[in-house]
Amino acid sequence: MTVTPGGIAPAALLAAGVLYPLGVLAARRRGRWWPAGRTACWIAGLATAAITVTGPLPRAAHHYFVAHAAGHLLLGMAAPLLLVLAAPVTLTLRALPAPHARVLSHVLASGPARLATHPVTAAGLNAGGLWALYATGLYRATAEYPWVHLAAQVHVIVAGYLFTAAVTGVDPAPHRPGPRTRAAVLIAFLAAHAILAKYLYAHPPAGVLGGPAGAQLMYYGGDLADAVLIVVFARQWYRAADPHRRPGTAAPRIPSVPPPRVPWRLPDADRLPARPN
């Protein structure tokens, strides 16, 4: 059986689509409820990624930069946000037996994992990979060599997932920086992405049609995806800053109510003074 680059990505997405529901069933067998909305986000994220790796869109992307820009927005921005909101790490921890879950927790808390999931590192991998793809001859190589194209697709979705999880992740991350640091990194990444789109408008890739139009789609479509990301991040920041929603915060103190006054009544009969004869 010959393994082709074009068949690896759909097979990986199909496997991810099967493993997630199995994890939900395993978590339920352990008595742990899982929201249906998380599952819907996972399926939608995989479907969004599948559009970019199979079908007419990836075939057109080799010749039309507009199609390539659409695939970039779907694979690198929309799909990672949906997959992050599905909280796959939390589901895995709930589905695994306790000893295996502890091992996974130790791996996630290790130095390499902390480095890879830091917002600065994730933003550098995401933005740096995009600049390396479009500002060098790597983009042309993706059209000529299928394995290079597959590697570029893997990098785009993995880097997009790491960056989105580092900024707006819902999975547990005890060493995640505070919201101010993440907000600064998010703003820097948005600027780098916008500058890249303007660079491509002035210097469109050679050998493809619709370079300026594709750059415009990347610019304005990126703004739309960024707006959704900002809304999610701002909502999380607001909920974390609300003391009534923060886990582990003591409930607001309720002022004590004085006991009701007992109405006046006569003393007991045996305590009445004796009536003089």
pLDDT tens for residues 84-115?
999 999 999 999 998 999 999 999 888 898 99
Indicate whether 53 belongs to any domain: yes
Residues 133-175: tens digit of each pLDDT? 988 878 888 888 889 889 999 999 999 999 999 999 888 887 8
- pLDDT value for 86: 95
Quick check: helix, strand or coil at residue 26? Answer: helix
For residue 92, the one-letter residue type is T
Domain count, the chain: 1
Give the number of C-alpha atoms closer than 13 A to the C-alpha of residue 59, restricted to the C-beta side: 3
- pLDDT value for 174: 74
Indicate whether 246 belongs to any domain: no
Residues 6 or more apart whose CB falls under 8 angstroms from that of 135 comprise 199
Mean pLDDT of 52-72: 90
Indicate whether 145 belongs to any domain: yes
Indicate whether 134 belongs to any domain: yes
Indicate whether 232 belongs to any domain: yes
Closest CA to 82 of 16, 30, 146: 16
- Residue of 4 and 97 predicted with greater confidence: 97
**Banded model confidence at residue 272, pLDDT cuts 50, 70, 90:** very low
Indicate whether 104 belongs to any domain: no
Which residues span the domain enclosing 19? Answer: 13-98+109-241
Spatial distance between the Cα atoms of 189 and 133, rounded to a whole number of angstroms: 16
Indicate whether 253 belongs to any domain: no
Indicate whether 264 belongs to any domain: no
